[in-house]
A = this chain, B = another copy of it.
Amino acid sequence: MTTTTLHPGRDGAGVVRRTVLPGGLRVVTETMPTVRSVAVGMWVGIGSRDEAPEHTGATHFLEHLLFKGTPTRDALEISAAIEGIGGEINAFTAKEYTCYYARVLDEDLPLAIDVLADVVTSSLVTAEDVESERGVILEEIAMHDDDPSDAVHEAFSAQLYGDVPLGRPILGSVESINTLSRDRIAEYYQSYYLPPHTVVSVCGNVSHERVVELVATAYERAGALGGTAQPVAPRLSGEGAAPRSGVRLVDRPTEQANLVLGTTALSRTDDRRFALGVLNAALGGGMSSRLFQEIREKRGLAYSAYSYTTQYADTGQFGVYVGCLPGKIDDVLKICREEISRVVAESITEEEIARGKGQMRGGLVLGLEDTGSRMSRIGKSELVYDTLMSVDEVLARIEAVTPEEVDAIAREILSQPMTLAVIGPYGDKDFSSFIA
């Protein structure tokens, strides 16, 4: 068992320590001495990207099943244990990882670790629970389909990546959920929910030694501690699908058209991601951004208009989202294309660069007062990066971005062929001119 101090912090706050338990389970903690809450996350390095085509949705299905019961707690006892002490417990599945988390008062830390470790290591995944939860997941898919501002992002990923795991929905499809068997889901559980794939991250007024002791006790009771396995290295590559261009139109009788226009962008470990962050802020990152000003403030064409970036192990996305009345879509797309061309052809201004840096800095620093955000930062870093940058290092990287770097990344990313996804009442309208 080795413990290292990743960051010394200041005055006892922000100390980040890491221990690898026998069997490859990692525990990372960060101290926040002035808070009463503690956030606990259990991060497993499996996501929808790890699914075979016929098992689309298995990872997320499994996430649901983990709350259904263990040898010592049924579904009600799992939720009641945390809710009765006023805490929160939940989970989410992403394309490259799954996270189970709780937020409780610090005196309840032992219980939170015990319950989370119980569901992560010892769920029963019974056939009966699979059948009951299948209905719940079909409901979740239907709910998601009913929200076009959500569904359009999935249509965009499907068009951009094609029929590979990154292009498929995390929830799966009605067809794949209806055919997933109990054994197949249980196999994912047994193959991946193992200590070398798992990181426990805790943030609050806690001692690292005490957290390690509680996690070791819980894992030992589950028979999941020991052995010589080492932590699995971060995922740094993917299935290498060739990204595509083109239009995906979903014809639906909605009040608004919902669109995403974008292309592939940088991976999570690409050094140029800070420059892309500044560019994204200037183009569509807030109310003072070019897209918001042009589309909403000056012309009143939309309520919601923004750009975003997403990072994966080996690739990423840059996208612009707008929701507008169906008759306005041609004007909106024209403005989006013009603004994208403009940041490629001309530089963004020094003022925009300064503002973009301010936005990135503020988002980071203001987020750090929340135990949940800090827990996520260290847990996710341990799982998906090879290093954990300190907040000061991240701030320095943002500050160091030059106008030349922003220019270079604008030219590289935004002059690629564009992909467009649209949900709206358009029949088979031809949108291909907007990506030409």
The answer to whether A366 touches B325, judged by C-beta atoms less than 8 angstroms apart, is no
Q: How far is the CA of A42 from the CA of B146 in the complex (A)?
A: 35
User: What's the nearest-Cβ distance from chain B to residue A275, in Å?
Assistant: 18
What are the interface flags for A286-310 relative to B under an 8 Å C-beta threshold, 1 for contact and 0 otherwise?
Answer: 1110001100111111111000000
Residue of B nearest to A86 (CB): B362
The one of B68, B84, B133, B253 that contacts A288, using a Cβ cutoff of 8 Å: B84
Provide the residues of chain B in CB contact with A36, threshold 8 Å: 365, 369
Find chain B residues with CB under 8 A from A360 CB.
86
Residues on the B chain within 8 Å of A300, using CB: 131-136, 139
CA distance A256 to B104 in the complex (A): 34
Instruction: Give the A interface residue count (CB, 8 A).
Output: 71
Binds B, one of A49-57, A74-82, A114-122, A312-320: A74-82
Whether the pair A303, B140 counts as a contact (CB closer than 8 A) is yes
A266 at the B interface (CB under 8 A)? no
Binary B-proximity of A74-101 (CB < 8 A = 1, otherwise 0): 0110011001111111000000000000
| Chain B nearest Cβ from A322, distance in angstroms | 10
Knowing A133-B300, A325-B138, the reply to whether A366 touches B37 (Cβ < 8 A) is yes
- Known A-B contacts A135-B301, A139-B303; the reply to A103 vs B37 at CB < 8 A is no
Given contacts A86-B362, A87-B366, A300-B134, contact A34 B34 (CB under 8 A): yes
Q: Which of B88, B253, B292, B363 contacts A253 (CB 8 A)?
A: B253
A37 to B369, CA, bound (A): 8
Q: Which of A36, A134, A147, A287 has the most CB of B within 10 A?
A: A287
Can you name 11 A-B residue pairings with CB atoms under 8 Å?
A37-B366, A85-B358, A85-B362, A104-B362, A135-B300, A136-B302, A138-B325, A139-B300, A142-B256, A146-B256, A369-B369
Taking a contact as CB atoms under 8 Å apart, the answer to whether A143 and B83 are in contact is no
B136 and A355 form a contact (CB under 8 A): no
Q: Which of B68, B132, B255, B366 contacts A146 (CB 8 A)?
A: B255
Q: In the complex, given contacts A37-B369, A135-B300, A142-B256, what are 19 additional A-B residue pairs having Cβ atoms less than 8 angstroms apart?
A: A35-B369, A37-B366, A67-B287, A75-B293, A75-B297, A83-B355, A87-B362, A88-B362, A88-B366, A105-B366, A132-B298, A139-B256, A139-B301, A139-B302, A139-B303, A139-B325, A143-B149, A369-B370, A370-B370
Q: How far apart sit A137 and B145, CA to CA, in the bound complex (Å)?
A: 24
Q: How far is the CB of A391 from chain B (nearest CB, A)?
A: 12
The answer to whether A323 touches B143 (Cβ under 8 A) is yes
Expressed in whole angstroms, the Cα–Cα distance for A301 and B138 within the complex equals: 9
A135 to B256, CA, bound (A): 13
Residues of chain B contacted by A301 (CB below 8 angstroms): 135, 139
